[in-house]
Amino acid sequence: MSQAPGAQPNLPSVYHERQRLELCAVHALNNVLQQQLFSQEAADEICKRPLSQLALPQVLGLILNLPSPMSLGLLSLPVRRRHWVALRQVGGIYYNLDSKLRAPEVLGDEDGVRAFLAAALAQGLCEVLLVVTKEVEEKGCWLRTD
């Protein structure tokens, strides 16, 4: 039996959320899961909750994508760009290794890096990538279980 040009054979129903605001991570999750399970609020809560559960000694470093204000001399422009920032522990001390800084900024111990992360997340529109070894990733031990 032939089909009309452009007609599709019996395809399964596919769940697909279209882009709304800047919620592409939420849409991507729901599209992969093939149903609307996550809202912006739920995704935000998940991002905040693992912060206290991070097993920082298991993490080689963190890479943050942050909003970065743009200026022209002393004039602040209403344009927001994105900037990637690295955080890393060296010799038992955590540092902000932002390439825009003249020198690494000391964040201190785990409490200091957690405070920095909390402040960055509170600004909104922040993404955090964890850099871990393959072994840590496979074991999933970058999160504390307690």
Strand order in the sheet with 75-90: 105-108, 93-96, 75-90, 61-72, 127-131
* Token couple for 75: 């004039």
Higher pLDDT, 9 or 126: 126
φ/ψ of residue 33, rounded to 5: -80, -10
Q: Which residues are catalytic?
A: 24, 83
User: What domains lie within the chain, and their CATH numbers?
Assistant: 37-139 (3.30.1490)
pLDDT in tens, 123-137: 777 788 888 898 988
- Report the pLDDT value the prediction gives residue 32, as an integer from 0 to 100: 76
**Is 80 exceeded by the pLDDT of residue 97?**
yes
* Token couple for 124: 């909104």
pTM of the model: 0.66
CA dist., res. 67 & res. 119, Å (int)? 13
- Report the pLDDT value the prediction gives residue 141, as an integer from 0 to 100: 86
CA dist., res. 2 & res. 17, Å (int)? 32
Average pLDDT across the chain, whole number: 81
Over residues 24-28, the mean pLDDT reads 76
